[in-house]
Amino acid sequence: MSIEENVDKNIQLIDKYDVFEPKFGVFKTSNYDLSLKERRERYRNLNYILCENCNEEVDYCKSYCIHCYDKETDVVKKVQMKYGSNFGIFKTLDYNLDLKERRAKYKNFDVILCENCNKETNHYYWYRTFCYDKETDIYKKRYMKYGSNIGTFNTSDYSLDLKERRAKYKNFDGILCGSCNKEIYRYNYYCTYCYNKETNIIKKIYMKYGSNFKILNISDYNLDLKERKAKYMKFDCILCENCNKEIDNYECYCTYCYYKETDINKKCQMKYGSNFGILYTSDYNLSVIERKAKNIYFDIILCENCSKEIDNYNYYYCTYCCDKETSIIKKGHMKYGSKFGIFNTSDYNLDLKERKSKIQEF
């Protein structure tokens, strides 16, 4: 009795006697013309699927016979078994197409085979990575990867700022360095290989940012932050005059030199300019309003005792020194000035009016 007759007999018995018996079907050779979606739809209600050719079980998820697939030697037939008839051949001539044209041509295929090596081509790359890795000619490799739409980044392009470089190369699928032929990434718009080989810091910055960079002179630390930002805001990069390292445009001071500096006054001048004040211990005799009036125009205030920065918007006292202080009287003096009072236990004998009258001047 053939496998089909066995299946028909079993299905009749299932329908007649026991609806809970497992159901199975035959995966025919003609089903390989169907796509994966069509195959799964056809067999989704069956518990088991047997291959018509070898009688081995067929995995529903894969929807093709692995046993027959492994025995098959013809790569085209193997692909048809695995994906159905909806596959395309990526020809060598297709490398003339740019990435957009390749996607348009092959987007509706379930799988793409390389004409040269018969291996599957990834939809994400749109070129055969196996052939690409074997190729030794740098131009052919880029041609395979991007098609004919490749731009060459010339040494003269380093004169352009980042905005100008992006405008010049934005429509290319790939960019090659004119000096070393290596690929240039769109995020950088400069050759990282040549950049890493260069030892001259000025040339490196020139490669990375173009001619639109500026040197932050040591004398610029006399400027406050607002003045520095106004001076340097239009530059793509700022270099420290002292160490030649890059400076963050937002901070406008060299963090490398800053952390090396040990003098707290010099550190503050580097970070905030000359417009900083010192909160002296004697200033704790002032009220909060008087302290604000004294220090309101400074960009930063330093504690005379510990040299730490003081929040000049809220506290006007050194929270670090205050937290270390153990005397409640001294803590109150630091926090509120000399004009504060102590609510004694004996004050509970006073009525509310008397209490308010006693403390209203503090």
Q: What is the pLDDT of residues 270-320, one digit of tens each?
A: 988 888 888 899 999 988 888 888 888 888 888 888 888 887 666 789 999
CB atoms within 10 A of CB 251: 14
| One-letter amino acid of 187 | Y
Residues of the chain scoring pLDDT < 70: 1-22, 123-125, 312-314, 340-341, 343, 347, 358-362
CB atoms within 10 A of CB 331: 16
Residues 241, 219 contacting (CB under 8 angstroms): no
Q: Is residue 80 part of a domain?
A: no
Assess whether 195 and 249 both reside in one domain.
no
Query: Closest by alpha carbon to 31, among 65, 4, 67, 7?
Result: 65
Distance CA(48)–CA(75), nearest Å, equals 27
Distance CA(261)–CA(215), nearest Å, equals 20
Assess whether 205 and 216 both reside in one domain.
no
Q: Is residue 168 part of a domain?
A: yes
Q: Which two tokens stand for residue 77?
A: 């037939």
Last residue of one domain, picked from the residues 72, 104, 122: 72
Assess whether 250 and 300 both reside in one domain.
no
Residue 120 sits at the vertex; the CA angle it makes with 115 and 126, to the nearest 5 degrees, is: 80
Q: Is residue 92 part of a domain?
A: yes
Which pLDDT value is given to residue 13?
A: 46
Domain of 39 in residue numbering reads as 3-72
Assess whether 107 and 200 both reside in one domain.
yes
Burial track 138-172 (b if 16+ CB lie within 10 A, e otherwise): eeebbbbbbbebbbebeeebbebbbeebeeebeeb
User: What is the pTM (predicted TM-score) of this model?
Assistant: 0.47
Assess whether 156 and 122 both reside in one domain.
yes
Residues 246, 237 contacting (CB under 8 angstroms): yes
Pairing of strands 237-240, 246-247: antiparallel
Residues 58, 49 contacting (CB under 8 angstroms): yes
What's the farthest any 2 CA atoms get from each other in the chain? 112
Assess whether 255 and 310 both reside in one domain.
no
Query: Closest by alpha carbon to 202, among 233, 240, 232, 230?
Result: 240
Distance CA(222)–CA(258), nearest Å, equals 15
Assess whether 160 and 256 both reside in one domain.
no
Q: Is residue 232 part of a domain?
A: yes
Assess whether 100 and 181 both reside in one domain.
yes
Q: Is residue 268 part of a domain?
A: no
Pairing of strands 120-121, 111-114: antiparallel
Q: Which two tokens stand for residue 261?
A: 């500096």
Which pLDDT value is given to residue 156?
A: 92
Query: Closest by alpha carbon to 47, among 16, 75, 97, 11?
Result: 11
Q: Is residue 170 part of a domain?
A: yes
Assess whether 202 and 161 both reside in one domain.
yes
Distance CA(352)–CA(343), nearest Å, equals 13
Domain total in the chain:
4
Q: Is residue 325 part of a domain?
A: yes
Give the DSSP per-residue string, 172-205. -SEEEETTT--B--TTT-S-HHHHHH---HHHHH
Q: Is residue 267 part of a domain?
A: no
Task: Determine the straight-line distance between the first and last CA of the chain, rounded to whole angstroms.
Answer: 108
Last residue of one domain, picked from the residues 194, 209, 224: 209
Assess whether 146 and 230 both reside in one domain.
no
Residues 257, 208 contacting (CB under 8 angstroms): no
Assess whether 328 and 349 both reside in one domain.
yes
Assess whether 95 and 188 both reside in one domain.
yes
Query: Closest by alpha carbon to 201, among 238, 154, 248?
Result: 238
